[in-house]
């Protein structure tokens, strides 16, 4: 039980940390984003986000199946798929509303959802139907539709991960290999491709599920010469950092991310191995205990993601206008501090609202009693 608790503390910490990284990575003039994962690796926080989502999903499914039943776990994740879909709709509407409010003052900001907003103003019912049917995915909401698909697939994926992991991995790799043509059949307006192809990114989700259900890292790290694997992972991370910083051109084809290029997977897996080494040595647990507010963001992941989308779009638009799109170190750090502070406050506000609601329900029950 203790080991499980520690693992969950570390999981919440990593989930909170990646949400904070996603926040600053979407602020163009951010100073912190100059040293986050995407700055020196071929992958970025998206891989971490999806992998941890798979790991957390497996943890929750196995726990519910043990406490209640497999049927209850399946029903829970069908409901979870609807919750994620609802969060997508809310995020999409908030992106449109935020863009509408900011455009008169910060209309030159590049990340405002102006094209989607113009379509909505011209034909609101059609544009809303496009959002509901996943055909239109305004800025920063595009990661959620694939998550809804993953939640729907959980009742199939989890039993396979526990009984036939190699079959699951083989099927996932096969789907990833043909993902690019599949993207052409996803619903979209104006033949625009999804930012995240779920047929490709399911592999990262499945790897997270398998990491929870199959203790591969624990088995390998128990061997006498496991340090060789860690040295190899470190060498690959350093080599890819060199390639990213000194060889790779600045503009990279978006298909590398949309369809989850193999190099991104390798780079992420090596970083994940090194992070697991730190977790095994207790380093991550110590940091998580010193920074509990980061774990709080991870525990309220869906709410914080939606709030972070609004915060990053707003801060990015204001900062871009104030600096004319140029790098300004003091304003960049100020924008980081404001955005991070606002996101860290979300879990606290959430707990306050929940406490108020609980007291209200208790008061009503007491009066009726």
Question: What was the pLDDT predicted at 6?
Answer: 43
Domain range summary for the chain, segments of one domain joined by +: 2-368
- For residue 307, the model assigns a pLDDT of 96
What confidence tens digit (pLDDT) does each residue in 309-324 have?
999 999 999 999 999 9
User: What pLDDT is stored for residue 80 in this prediction?
Assistant: 95
| CA–CA dist 245, 41 (Å, integer) | 9
* Structure confidence at residue 2 (pLDDT): 36
pLDDT tens per residue across span 19-72 = 999 999 999 999 999 999 999 999 999 999 999 999 999 999 999 999 988 899
Q: What pLDDT is stored for residue 360 in this prediction?
A: 57
DSSP string of 283-306?
A: HHHHHHHH-HHHHHHHHTHHHHHH
Q: What pLDDT is attached to residue 357?
A: 59
Q: What percent of the chain has pLDDT over 70?
A: 91
With a CB cutoff of 8 Å and minimum separation 6, the contacts of 176 are 199, 200, 202, 203, 260
For the chain, percent of residues with pLDDT exceeding 90: 81
8: number of Cβ within 10 Å: 16
| pLDDT at residue 1, as a whole number | 33
pLDDT at 254: 63
Average pLDDT, the chain: 90
Low-confidence ranges of the chain (pLDDT < 70): 1-7, 249-255, 350-369
Max intra-chain CA distance, the chain: 72
Contacts of 261 (CB under 8 A, 6+ apart): 42, 255
Question: What's the rounded Cα separation, in Å, for the pair 60 and 325?
Answer: 43
Quote the pLDDT of residue 222.
86
- Cβ neighbours of residue 323 under 8 Å, at least 6 residues apart? 29, 331, 332
Whole-angstrom distance, CA of residue 287 vs CA of residue 294: 10
> What is the structure's pLDDT at 250?
61
Q: Which pLDDT score, from 0 to 100, does residue 367 have? A: 59
Class of residue 207 by CB neighbours under 10 A (exposed 0-12, middle 13-18, buried 19+): buried
State the pLDDT at residue 100: 96
């Amino acid at each position: 039980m203790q080991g499980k608790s520690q693992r969950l503390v570390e999981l919440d910490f990593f989930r909170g940390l990646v949400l904070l990284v996603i926040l600053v990575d979407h602020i163009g003039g951010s100073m912190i984003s100059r040293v986050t994962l995407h700055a020196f690796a071929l992958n970025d926080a998206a891989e971490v986000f999806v992998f941890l989502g798979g790991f957390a999903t497996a943890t929750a499914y196995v726990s519910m199946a043990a406490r209640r039943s497999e049927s209850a776990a399946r029903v829970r994740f069908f409901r979870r798929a609807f919750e994620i879909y609802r969060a997508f709709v809310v995020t999409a509407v908030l992106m449109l509303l935020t863009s509408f409010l900011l455009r008169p003052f910060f209309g030159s900001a590049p990340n405002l959802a102006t094209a989607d907003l113009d379509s909505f103003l011209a034909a609101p019912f059609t544009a809303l139907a496009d959002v509901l049917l996943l055909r239109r995915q305004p800025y920063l909401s595009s990661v959620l539709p694939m998550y809804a698909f993953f939640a729907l697939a959980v009742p199939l994926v989890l039993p396979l991960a526990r009984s036939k992991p190699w079959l699951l991995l083989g099927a996932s790799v096969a789907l990833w290999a043909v993902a690019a043509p599949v993207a052409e059949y996803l619903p979209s307006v104006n033949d625009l491709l999804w930012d995240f192809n779920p047929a490709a990114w399911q592999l990262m989700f499945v790897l997270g599920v398998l990491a929870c259900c199959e203790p591969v890292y624990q088995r390998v790290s128990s061997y006498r010469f496991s340090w060789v694997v860690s040295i190899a992972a470190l060498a690959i991370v350093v080599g890819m950092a060199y390639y990213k910083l000194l060889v790779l051109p600045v503009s990279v084809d978006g298909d590398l991310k949309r369809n989850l290029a193999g190099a991104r997977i390798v780079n992420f897996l090596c970083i994940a191995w090194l992070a697991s080494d730190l977790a095994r040595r207790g380093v991550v647990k110590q940091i998580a205990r010193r920074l509990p507010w980061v774990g709080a963001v991870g525990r309220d992941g869906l709410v914080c993601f939606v709030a972070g989308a609004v915060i990053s779009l707003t801060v990015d638009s204001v900062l871009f206008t104030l600096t004319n799109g140029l790098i300004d170190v003091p304003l960049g750090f100020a924008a980081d501090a404001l955005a991070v502070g606002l996101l860290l406050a979300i879990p606290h506000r959430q707990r306050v609202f929940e406490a108020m609601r609980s007291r209200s329900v208790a008061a009503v029950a007491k009066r009726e009693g």
